[in-house]
Structure 1
Amino acid sequence: MIGKLTGTLCDKNPPQVMVDCHGVGYEVHVPMSTFYNLPELGAKVSLLTHFVVREDAQILYGFENSQEREAFRQLIKITGVGPRTALSVLSGMSVADLSQAVTMQEGGRLIKVPGIGKKTAERLLLELKGKLGPDIGLSSTLANDAQGDILQALLALGYSDKEAVLALKALPKDVGVSDGIKQALRALSKA
């Protein structure tokens, strides 16, 4: 219903901010990653939003970018994970870190987030697999287009996200596509 807010930032009280849009103040809950990147009070701000309507409340959640909002939407689809827990996850780790934890199936990284226990972490790993995409989590890992091409080739050959990422991390950063694929396949055949 409300997809984006652009206005003046008039209050910051973690995890909530208030955005004045032409005389109407919207209270918006934001993850800490977005909160830390907000401008000073009185400055113009633009947030992508997700509007949640419950029987007892109508709550607006705001995000700095579309990756955060998409990750939030994927998280709240999971049984037992509500908007507050999803906000906590995005406050505790970046979207790239979350995607990488899911790709590598590292539940220990999720358990460090307040409110996430072992069972919830396992459920997140299971339900988010393949939904955040390896490209989101690897944007910081991929130094160049060649590494992206190598990753895509390994995935196309049937290797799992985890196997492809591990093989990619073992390669030199400046490797070419064909040499990188050969080296990665050699490494994967030894594993």
Structure 2
Amino acid sequence: MIGRLQGVILEKQAPELLLDVNGVGYEIQAPISTFAMLGKTGTQAVLYTHLAIREDAHQLYGFSDKSQRTLFRTLIKVSGVGPKLALAILSGMDVHAFAVCVHNEDVTALTKLPGVGKKTAERLIVEMRDRLIEWQAPAPLWAAADNAEKASQDNLLREAEGALVALGYKPQDAAKMLNKVSTGVDSAEEMIRLALRSTLGTQ
């Protein structure tokens, strides 16, 4: 089992990155939250990994810390939740915020995650409640508020990036455009407007 990799980032295009480890290139899929923690291409990165083995493929998944990997491994044990959905959940909400949602039975918050409908949210709460107790206590209320705010900002960024990609920009270019203008902006529409204005050089 490959549990940890350290190397140089050769390519980054969410949700996949290519990591050079002593001359061997590892293709790794990672949640957006992990991408946000990584440096630019050419820089060093350390990832905690999970190797999924199927009949037709071996797929590596990478995470910025062990708690993300633990949640990923716990999620894929839930009926109907595969690696793709688990990555989407981790992309839309950090570990503490997810634990709080499960312990508070917050179906509404969970259904805001990409790919999670009401039935899936209810199943996550039922099946994850006891499993989370084993390794993750709920975050304090003040931390939950901070995490909720961060999750909301991340959702706006994803919405704005999706709109820019639909306009023809490459995902990595859209991300760079938004990184320059997203601070303090509270709507996806404003992010898009500022990003386009910055690119076009208009006032």
TM-score when normalising by structure 1: 0.71
Alignment of 1:73 onto 2:73: yes
Looking at structure 1, the residues matched to 128 and 90 of structure 2 have their Cα atoms a distance apart, in angstroms, of 14
Looking at structure 1, the residues matched to 23 and 64 of structure 2 have their Cα atoms a distance apart, in angstroms, of 22
**Long gaps (5+) in structure 1:** 143-191
Looking at structure 2, the residues matched to 91 and 136 of structure 1 have their Cα atoms a distance apart, in angstroms, of 20
Looking at structure 1, the residues matched to 116 and 24 of structure 2 have their Cα atoms a distance apart, in angstroms, of 35
Looking at structure 1, the residues matched to 136 and 4 of structure 2 have their Cα atoms a distance apart, in angstroms, of 25
Query: What residue number does 2:31 align with?
Result: 31
Q: Describe the SS at the equivalent of 1:115.
A: coil
Looking at structure 2, the residues matched to 94 and 135 of structure 1 have their Cα atoms a distance apart, in angstroms, of 12
Looking at structure 1, the residues matched to 100 and 125 of structure 2 have their Cα atoms a distance apart, in angstroms, of 10
Task: Give the number of equivalent residue pairs.
Answer: 142
Q: CA deviation at 1:137?
A: 3.3
Looking at structure 2, the residues matched to 141 and 135 of structure 1 have their Cα atoms a distance apart, in angstroms, of 17
Matching of residues 30-179 of structure 1 within 5 Å: 30-133=30-133, 135-138=136-139, 141=142
Deviation string, structure 1 residues 115-161 (Cα, Å, up to 9, x no partner): 1111111000000103223854315747xxxxxxxxxxxxxxxxxxx
| Cα gap change, 1:136 to 1:39, in 2 (>3 Å) | farther
Looking at structure 2, the residues matched to 56 and 118 of structure 1 have their Cα atoms a distance apart, in angstroms, of 31
Looking at structure 2, the residues matched to 103 and 85 of structure 1 have their Cα atoms a distance apart, in angstroms, of 20
Contact 1:95 1:137 in 2 (8 A): no
Query: What residue number does 2:7 align with?
Result: 7
TM-score when normalising by structure 2: 0.67
Amino acid at match of 1:22: N
Looking at structure 2, the residues matched to 74 and 103 of structure 1 have their Cα atoms a distance apart, in angstroms, of 15
Looking at structure 2, the residues matched to 3 and 139 of structure 1 have their Cα atoms a distance apart, in angstroms, of 30
Looking at structure 2, the residues matched to 81 and 130 of structure 1 have their Cα atoms a distance apart, in angstroms, of 17
Looking at structure 2, the residues matched to 56 and 135 of structure 1 have their Cα atoms a distance apart, in angstroms, of 33
Looking at structure 1, the residues matched to 136 and 113 of structure 2 have their Cα atoms a distance apart, in angstroms, of 23
Higher-Rg structure is 1
Amino acid at match of 2:130: G
Contact 1:16 1:29 in 2 (8 A): yes
Amino acid at match of 1:88: A
Q: Describe the SS at the equivalent of 2:85.
A: helix
**Long gaps (5+) in structure 2:** 144-203
| Cα gap change, 1:72 to 1:135, in 2 (>3 Å) | closer
Q: Describe the SS at the equivalent of 2:127.
A: helix
Fraction of identical pairs, as percent: 44
| Cα gap change, 1:18 to 1:136, in 2 (>3 Å) | farther
